[in-house]
Amino acid sequence: MILYLDTSSLVKLYIEEAHSTKVREWVEDAEIIATCRVAYPETVSALNRRFRSGDLSKSEYKLLIARFSKEWSDFAVTDFDELEAGRFVEKYGIRGFDAVHLSSAKLIKAFQNDISLSFSSFDNKLNSAASAERLIVLTA
Query: CA-to-CA distance for 30 and 105, rounded, in angstroms?
Result: 15
User: Does any domain span residue 63?
Assistant: no
User: Does any domain span residue 29?
Assistant: yes
Q: What is the pLDDT of residues 83-118, one digit of tens each?
A: 999 999 999 999 999 999 999 999 999 987 678 999
Q: What is the mean pLDDT of residues 62-86?
A: 98
User: Does any domain span residue 55?
Assistant: no
pLDDT of residue 115: 82
Query: CA-to-CA distance for 94 and 111, rounded, in angstroms?
Result: 24
**Is the pLDDT score of 140 beyond 90?**
no
Q: What is the mean pLDDT of residues 66-71?
A: 98
pLDDT of residue 58: 98
Nearest residue to 26 via CA among 16, 43, 13: 13
What mean pLDDT is reported for the chain?
Answer: 96
**Is the pLDDT score of 121 beyond 80?**
yes
User: Does any domain span residue 28?
Assistant: yes
User: Does any domain span residue 60?
Assistant: no
User: Does any domain span residue 52?
Assistant: no
pLDDT of residue 77: 98
User: Does any domain span residue 46?
Assistant: no
Structural domain for 6, as ranges: 2-40+75-138
**Is the pLDDT score of 69 beyond 90?**
yes
Q: Record the pTM.
A: 0.95
pLDDT of residue 31: 96
Q: How many domains does the chain have?
A: 1
Q: What is the mean pLDDT of residues 69-74?
A: 98
Query: CA-to-CA distance for 88 and 116, rounded, in angstroms?
Result: 22
C-alpha to C-alpha distances, 40 to 72, 76, 98, nearest whole angstrom: 8, 12, 14
**CATH number for the domain harbouring residue 19:** 3.40.50.1010
C-alpha to C-alpha distances, 70 to 45, 73, 74, 111, nearest whole angstrom: 16, 7, 8, 27
Query: CA-to-CA distance for 16 and 56, rounded, in angstroms?
Result: 11
User: Does any domain span residue 117?
Assistant: yes
